[in-house]
Chain A
Amino acid sequence: GAGVSQSPRYKVAKRGQDVALRCDPISGHVSLFWYQQALGQGPEFLTYFQNEAQLDKSGLPSDRFFAERPEGSVSTLKIQRTQQEDSAVYLCASSLLAGGNTGELFFGEGSRLTVL
């Protein structure tokens, strides 16, 4: 497809389980972002990649959260030992150019994580 693809769309995890969320950005897009969106709230920044380099991870809420983009294309957000407060929609976005203010962010439909 031509858009940003995220999988799984829905994930239910028991507290303490590890989860991995995948993002396929638009082909050729340099920048990739992960955002967390709690119910009824705006997206909150987690981390930013320029190609394979993770240039900003200041929004990751704890060391249980880890993201990678090893070949500068597909990215994975991993959450270890999930907690109930991790329940949210995790949005991935990509942008053609470097940085976040040079053009449109294209968002995927998100991965909804529910931790029981």
Chain B
Amino acid sequence: QKEVEQDPGPLSVPEGAIVSLNCTYSNSAFQYFMWYRQYSRKGPELLMYTYSSGNKEDGRFTAQVDKSSKYISLFIRDSQPSDSATYLCAMRKTSYDKVIFGPGTSLSVIP
């Protein structure tokens, strides 16, 4: 079993839809949770960073962490074609530990 799992997609939605991207993980020691966005043929860039359980909102993006279920989500409201990318979840146990990445979910937002 992989330490971090994501549905690879591809996920295709119409412009304006609400998108839900999810990751599950097996190690209960993870405390720091991240979402990276990766455009085609580019390097990943950090989108959201959360610590422990709860929600964090930034504009159209909301990150949610449920440590009891070992499940994290990224919601995108009013999705735009510019949101078309691969979304990687990532997590670490402490700020001194290596980051473990999920395989990524490919998202296409159709105009």
Instruction: Decide whether A and B are members of one complex.
Output: no
